[in-house]
Structure 1
Amino acid sequence: MYVTEAGDKDPTAELNEFNTSMTKIEDGIDRLQSEELTTFSSVELITSGDPDAAQQGYKDAIETIKTRIILEDIIQEEIRHASILHKNLANAYSAEWNEKMAVVANEFEAELSEAIDSLDKEAEKFSEVLDTEKMDIFDHLARDKTTLLETIKNQHVNASQFETDFFVQLDQMTKLSRSVDKTQLLFFEFVVNCLDLQEERLEIEKVMVNMNMTNYLDVLQGQSIDAGNISTALDFTFAQFIKDSTPNMPAPLPVDNGFTVDIKPDRGVGGIYHAGTHDKIKFTINATQDCWFILRYRDTMGDEKQLCPNESYNGGNFLKANIPLVIPDDLPYDFVAQKPFGIDSLEVIASPDQIEYIPETDKLAMGPYMGPSKSKNSLALRGINMQKEQSSESFLQGGSYDKVFYNPELSGNAVISKAFIRVVP
C-alpha cells in the first residue's frame, strides 16, 4: 500500500497527468497537419487573378498562420509540463514511454517535413503574381530559407539526440515549426510589398508586432522599394527569429584556408540615417584571411553602384587578414543620407582568388539592379562563382547574412556578405 505524505503526488495521478499532457501534444501535432491549418488553398486564391478572391486569400492565410503559431505556443508549454512530470516517472515507466515518445518524435518530424515542403510549393505558386525580375529575387529568397530550415530540421531529428534528451529536442522542433510559419509570413510580406498592397501589408505588420518580430520594412511609408532591397531586409528579419531554432552545435573544427568575412554599417545592420541632417554613412569590412573583394551599393529604387573597384578607385580591393577596412575613408567621395528614402543594400563579394580591375565592366554607375541570376552570371564570366551552401554553412557555425564563412571544401571560390541601412527624412 502506498501512503502519500503532505505535498506528495499520487504516482497514479501523476502518470494520468503525464498521459494527458502527452495526448495534448500528439493532438496538437495532428492538428498542425490538418487541412484546415494549411495555407495552400489561400495561396491559390491569391494567385487566381481575381482581386476580391486574392484579398480574401491574404486574410485567410494570415489568420491561419496566426492560429498555427498560437497552437505551437500551446504545444511548447505542454512539452515543458510533460518534461517535468517525466523526470518523476521515467524510472518506473521508461520502456513504455520511450517507445511512445519515439512515435511522437516521428509524427513531429513528418509534420515539419510536410510544412517545409508546403512552404516550397507555395513559393512556386507566387510565380503567377510576380513579374520575372521579382520572381527571380523571390526564388533566391525562398530557396535560401527552405534549404536552411531543412538543414536545421535534419540536425534536430537525429536519432541519437532523441535517445539522450527527447523533450529538449521536441521543444526545439516546436520552435522550428514556429520559424517555418514565420518564414511563410515573410514570403507573404515580400509579395504584398512588391504588389503595393497596403492593406495586406499593414495586416501582416500587426501580426509581426504581436509576435515580437523585428520588421525592418516599417519605414516604407508608402514609397516604392526595389524588390532586391526588400529581400535583403527580410533576410535579416529571418536571421533574427531563426536563432531560436538553430541547434546548439559544437564548435566547428578549423578548416584549412577557411575564413569569415563581414560588413557592418557604423549604426549597425538596419541602422537609420536621416537625410534632413545629411547624416554621413560609414561601414567596415573585415576578413579573417587575406582576400580580394568587390563592393556594391544599391539604393531603395534599385539603382546600383560598384564602389570598389571602379574607374575612380581601381585599386584597394584587397583585404588584409583581421585588419578592418573602413569605407569610404580612402574613397574619393563621401556617403550622405539623401532621397530616395527607404532601404539601401550593401554587398561585399569576397574571394581568396585575386579579383582584378576590368575597365569595361567595373563601373561606378551600374544602372538598375539586374537580379540574382543575372548578377551571378555576370560574376561567373570573370571566374567568380558563389558557394551555394554558404548560408546553411554559416548559420550552423554561428554566422548570419552579414558574417559568412568561406569553406574551401565546398565548390565555388567566393561568398557574399550583406548588410543594409534605412534612410528616412
Structure 2
Amino acid sequence: MTSGGYKPVNTVRHTTTTVSKRKRSSISDSSNIHEPLHRPHSSLAPGPNRKPSKSSRRRRRIRNERISSSVERQWVFSPSDSRNLKDKLVLVSYNLLGVDNASNHMDLYYNIPSQHLDWNRRKHLICKEISRYNATILCLQEVDRFDDLDSLLKNRGFQGVHKRRTGEASDGCSVFWKEKLFKLLHHQEIEFNRFGLRNNVAQLCVLEMNCEDPESKLREQSSEQTSTSPRRLVVGNIHVLFNPKRGDIKLGQVRLLLERAYKLSQEWGNIPVAIAGDLNSTPESAIYDFVASADLDTQLHDRRQISGQCEIETNQRSFRNHYAVSASQTNEWSQEELQLATGGQTSTHVRHQLKLNSAYAGVPGTHRTRDQCGEPLATTCHSKFQGTVDYIWHTKELVPLKVLETLPTDVLRRTRGLPSEKWGSDHLAIACELGFVSE
C-alpha cells in the first residue's frame, strides 16, 4: 500500500499491512482496531447460548499447535551456479522478543500460554534453533538477557558483543560469530540519541575469516589455489524505532547506519557489507525502497506513512490505523524533520552509497511464503500484526546461495500468534548463506 504519490520500484504484494509491534506505552487500547489473527467464520461463530467451553478451546489450541509444530522450515537454494564460490557464511537475523517488552505489552500475547513466554524456556528453544541452521554469524535484536545468551552460545562456539539501548529500555542489539571461523577486527556502536534520533542503537562489526583453522569448512581451497588475503566483511545490525508517526526518525536511523557502513567498508579496503535487522517497515514502504534504490525524495511521502502504515480495509469493514493520515493532509516536513531524516543536507532527497540487494529477493521462493517482490510474507506474528519487518541486505561482493523459508501464513494463523511451543519469539529468524564472489 502506498500513499502521497509513492510508487515503489518493485512490484509489491497486495496483502494488508498494519502496525508491526506496539512498543510505546502512549498507544491506548482504543487504537487496537485490527482484526484478530484467528477469527471463526460467521457460520461457525457461537450464538448467544452456544459459547465454546474452556476445554474445547484448549483442545483446539493444542491441535493447532501440533499442526504448526510439525511444519519444518526449509532451505531454498539459488538456481545460480555457485561452484566457484569457496568462501561462505550463514547469517541469521533474529528479533528475540525482549523479556521486558513482552511483560509490558501483554495485550499482544493475551492468547499465548504463559509457559510459551517464559524466558528460561525460550532461550533454549532459540539457541537450539540457531544450531539447526549451522549459523556462523548472528544479528540479534531485542536482547535484554545478554549474559544468558552469551553463556549458552559460548557452549556452541560463539563469541559476541552487545550494545544496550540508551534511555530507560533494557534491550539492545547483539552480534555473535563462530569463534573458530571468524575474528573481530573492529566493533562500532551507534547511539542514535547523539543525533536526535531517539534511544535505538545499531552495531557495525568488521569480521575476518579465519584461514588458519584446519577444521574450517568455510574455506574449501584446492591445493592448486594460490593464497589470497583473508576474507573480510562489514556486518551491520539494527533495530529501528517502532513509532509509525516518526518516519523522519526511522529514515534517519536507517540512513545513518548505511552511511557508517559504507565509510567503514572504504576504510577497510572496500570490503563487502551485510546489513540485517528489524527495520519496523514493510516491504511496500518507502523506507524499504530507499534501502533498495539508494535514493528517496522525502517530499513525495508523508512521514507518518513512510514505513508502511496506512488506511486499510478488512472483510468489507473500514478501519483506520491509529497512525493513518487522511488523503487531504499534505506531505509537509518541518525543517527539523528534514534534518533528522537527511542529516542536515540542503536537498530534500535522502541517499546512500551502498548498492544493496535483498538476500531473500535474490533466491526465488513459493507463493505460500513470499510476496511478489520475493520478500517473506511474514517474519512476525502476534495478536495485532502478521507481516514482514525483518531483512538481510548485502552488497554485490556477496551472493545469496540459499535462504531459509519462513512459515506459510496459514500455518502462522493456526498458532494464534508467536511465541509457540516450537518457536521461541514473536519473530521468525531469517537466514541466508552468502558466498564471497571470487576476486
The two structures have a TM-score, normalised by structure 2, of: 0.27
Decide which structure has greater helix share. Answer: 1
